[in-house]
Structure 1
Amino acid sequence: MTMPLEIVTLPCLSDNYAFLIHNPASGETALVDAPEAGAIRAALSERGWGLDRILLTHHHWDHVDGVAELREAYGAKVIGAAADASRLPPLDMAVEDGGTYPLLGEEVQVMDVSGHTVGHIAFYIPGAEAVFTADSLMALGCGRLFEGTPQQMWASLSQLAALPPQTMVYSGHEYTQANGAFAVTVDPGNPALQSRISDIAEARGNGLPTVPSSLQLELDTNPFLRAADRAIRAHLGMQDAEDAEVFAEIRKRKDNF
């Protein structure tokens, strides 16, 4: 049997996450996003790991700021979206939506999840039952639409929602408690959401991360995936609207929350 990949959730900056993916058999390590070099170098040193690959989800500074130092320190190859290459650090490999490539002995699938930015990608590793979504699908939320349209983001979220429900969602920020405070305003009768809010409060009270989360939990509680839900539609007075329109209303309310 092959050894499973080890995935480390690594807090960075004030509320960002980076993720180390390690193959214990080969000793290879990849990183998803590089908010800062210091915390990542410390985590690698603590574990005695090198760094072979850096996967970038989108161009925002708080996801790429550590790339140059990490590339120089470890010789890591940088992988990112061809569609956003002009705004990313220099890429060693430019990947496209629907493309697949090998990483640490597993196949990685590239998904265009534009909305937060245009050219934002997610990395799905079926063999590890893991998807790295950064600021597209987030724990109990989704990224603010800085560049894309509600229709783009809804299409992106719908694509992620179709992955196997046991998939673990590795998103880019510790926003879950604030997202829960909003979610209950549009989905107040959801007992699964109420239970999750309680669990989040306990985890954060103990200094524990709320990322990753299972896709099934997001499907049950995340209002941005639940635009088809009858109770949410009734609460918003949008029983006959298109799903994308309901999503747009939820996003607008979150923006003003």
Structure 2
Amino acid sequence: MGALSVIRLAILPDSANYTFLIHDAASGQTAVVDPGDAGPVQEECQRRGWRLTHIWNTHHHHDHVGGNLALKAATGCTVIGSAVDAGRIPGLDRTVADGDCFDIGGHPVQVLGVSGHTIGHIAFYLPDAAALFCGDTLFSLGCGRMFEGSPQQFWQALSRLRALPDDTLVYCAHEYTESNLRFALSIEPDHPVLKQRALVITALRYQGVPTVPCLLGEEKASNPFLRVDQPELAALLGRDAGDPAAVFAELRRRKDGFS
């Protein structure tokens, strides 16, 4: 069993989406995570000589599932998504839920329930590859908007992701790092890790280089949405660190109004 190849594709430029191709050379299996647009996926597979075998959907939003039917019609691939989203994911063939496990080319894929951005949102964790495909639950220095879930659900989801190993690569679905950085610094302007990351992120984006994937260990140290149970951050937000869901709710409220 060899190493997996992970290819990042930029799609839907208006919403700065990423989709990811995951390929196992030994078996020939190829999965795509959250294909909001079929065209770039088909072109990249053709260029590399890969045959798409699976679609993995983290949640039902159109910028994550918009390419499902075209890709399925072209390749006959199997669409995997949350059982909760059974009526909302186009072309869904196989439903999964928190705690389920399947594989790609013998590499285990663990399904994590991470409701908050939506109800039924899932993430895919590949321990062999130290890779997490988390959709819109966790972003570099941020998290998704809370469209359907509650603060308690969202904080529980982020806590689960925070518990993964520090060397995990976070493949999130949007290039929002610069705006997330500006917000984080507005809350904690003197945070030393944030200030250091600002130098790196600003340089990368100036050169047009993506910031995704990011390293979970760095997120644990600097992403405010992963630290709402820390007294220092709670105090800055005027909330009690003993109620991290309330701290999260206040932080998310401020981010929603940030420009």
TM-score interval, smaller chain:
over 0.9
After TM superposition, the score normalised by the length of structure 1 is: 0.96
Contact 2:230 2:241 in 1 (8 A): no
Structure 1 unaligned segments of length 5 or more: list them.
none
Equivalent position SS for 2:87: helix
Residues 187 and 231 in structure 1, CA contact (< 8 A), matched pair in contact too: no
Does structure 1 residue 155 correspond to structure 2 residue 156?
yes
Identify the range of structure 1 (188-197 vs 174-183) with the bigger mean alpha-carbon deviation: 188-197
Give the aligned partner of residue 45 of structure 1: 46
In 1, the alpha carbon distance for the partners of 2:67 and 2:93 equals: 16
Aligned residues of 2:162 and 2:216 also touching (Cα < 8 A)? yes
Aligned to 1:100: 101
Q: Spell out structure 1 runs of 4+ moving beyond 4 A.
A: none
What is the alpha-carbon distance in structure 2 between the residues aligned to residue 25 and residue 215 of structure 1? 28
Asked whether the equivalents of residues 131 and 168 of structure 2 are also in contact (C-alpha less than 8 Å), the reply is yes
Give how far 1:241 is off.
Answer: 4.4
Write the deviation string for residues 141-171 of structure 1: whole angstroms up to 9, x where unpaired.
1000011111110000001100111111110
2:124 — aligned with what?
123
Which residue number corresponds to residue 24 of structure 2? 23
Identity of aligned residues (%): 50
Q: Output the CA distance in 2 between the equivalents of 1:22 and 1:102.
A: 12
- 1:190-222 per-residue CA deviation (whole Å, 9 max, x = no partner) reads 111111122111111111111111110110110
CA distance in 2, matches of 1:205, 1:156: 32
CA distance, structure 1, for counterparts of residue 75 and residue 197 of structure 2? 39
Count, aligned residues: 256
TM-score, length basis structure 2:
0.96
SS at match of 1:19: strand
How far off is 1:3 after superposition?
1.6
Partner of 2:209: 208
Q: Which is further off, 2-11 or 170-179?
A: 2-11
- The letter of the residue matching 2:100 is G
Quick one: distance in 2 between partners of 1:157 and 1:29?
28
Amino acid of the residue matched to residue 73 of structure 1? A
User: What do residues 41-100 of structure 1 show as CA deviations (whole Å, max 9, x unaligned)?
Assistant: 111122111100000010000000011111111111100011111111132111111111
Paired with 1:252 and 1:111, the residues of 2 have a C-alpha distance of 25
1:240: Cα distance to partner? 4.9
